Amino acid sequence: MDLKQRPALVTGAGQGIGRSIALQLAAHNAGGVIVNDFHPQRAEEVADEIRSMGFDAIAAPADVSNAEQVRAMLSLARERFGEIGILVNNAGNAGPSQRPDISAAPFWDVPAADWDRWFSVNLYGVMHCCHAALPSMVARGGGGRIITILSDAGRVGEAGLETYSAAKAGAAGFLRALAKSTGRHSITVNMISMGATVTPTSEDALSNEDLQRKMLQHYVIRRLGTPEDAAAMATFLASEAAGWITGQTIPVNGGYSFAL
């Protein structure tokens, strides 16, 4: 699980899953961690936390849905750590809002103008980061790792989350194609599909005991996910141990769904 001093960029790492991934990568010998978040204070707090552990990190506030900000973030990362070797696309939900307003209306009653906020982060944000990071990964001769946090909403669909499901599924299709394009350069591209996970964004809703009891009926392992569950898989996929795994969507979901 040694990351062999590859610098790592984690998007949306100011809290929750992204924070846990950033901490785990630092602890497994990443060559510096670039902590991205839309909110500068959150990014700086996690970078400080990593530095307090004795590892190197910088905060890199940016909106991943903005291609120019992503390119500037990669330039900052190169100036400090050189070319990044690990990219974790974790930024998601509806962008920077702490608790996105999910409409209870059926999809056909939701205005099309509401779609952009989901696609801009969950699909275009992933594409922007890959587009900016890949030239140097390819030029360096391979060994790069691209890991993207998806959702079972995109893998199996979720009623009431049609646009979010579409954005996550779109990202999965893009990344599978990218895996085929980059494999010749020994770059791996994999996805982690999360089930219901307790994070600062979701904890208020998931703390409802009646809701949690109903949800857990669908989970073979009778608990909700934690950010550390995602971080453990991300660290494995970033390591040499996963060097012959690419183009895969790996469920980390407590048995919410099974497939051959």
- Residue indicated by tokens 């790592």: 8
**Minimum mean pLDDT range among 25-34, 95-104, 173-182, 237-246:** 95-104
Q: What ranges make up the beta strands (E) of 40-103?
A: 57-61, 86-89
Higher pLDDT, 23 or 97: 23
Q: What is the mean pLDDT of residues 110-125?
A: 94
50, pLDDT greater than 80: yes
DSSP 8-state code for residue 225:
B
- For residue 239, give the amino acid letter: S
Q: Determine whether 168 is exposed, middle or buried from the number of CB atoms within 10 Å of its CB (0-12, 13-18, 19+).
A: buried
Residues paired with 148 in a beta bridge: 89, 191
Q: What is the mean pLDDT of residues 55-71?
A: 98
pLDDT in tens, 195-209: 999 888 887 777 788
The answer to whether the beta carbons of residues 41 and 180 sit under 8 Å apart is: no
Higher pLDDT, 51 or 94: 51
Q: What is the mean pLDDT of residues 228-246?
A: 97
State how far the Cα of 168 lies from the Cα of 151, in Å rounded to an integer. 7
pLDDT of residue 260: 59
State how far the Cα of 87 lies from the Cα of 136, in Å rounded to an integer. 12
User: 56-86: b or e for each residue (b if 16 or more CB lie within 10 Å)?
Assistant: ebbbbbbbbbbbebbeebbebbeeebebbbb
pLDDT band at 134 (very low <50, low <70, confident <90, very high): very high
pLDDT of residue 64: 98
Q: Determine whether 10 is exposed, middle or buried from the number of CB atoms within 10 Å of its CB (0-12, 13-18, 19+).
A: buried
pLDDT of residue 67: 98
- The answer to whether 164 is a known catalytic residue is yes
Q: What is the mean pLDDT of residues 141-157?
A: 91
94, pLDDT greater than 90: no
Q: What is the mean pLDDT of residues 153-159?
A: 87
pLDDT of residue 99: 52
pLDDT of residue 61: 98
Higher pLDDT, 143 or 62: 62
pLDDT of residue 207: 79
pLDDT band at 45 (very low <50, low <70, confident <90, very high): very high
pLDDT band at 151 (very low <50, low <70, confident <90, very high): very high
241, pLDDT greater than 80: yes
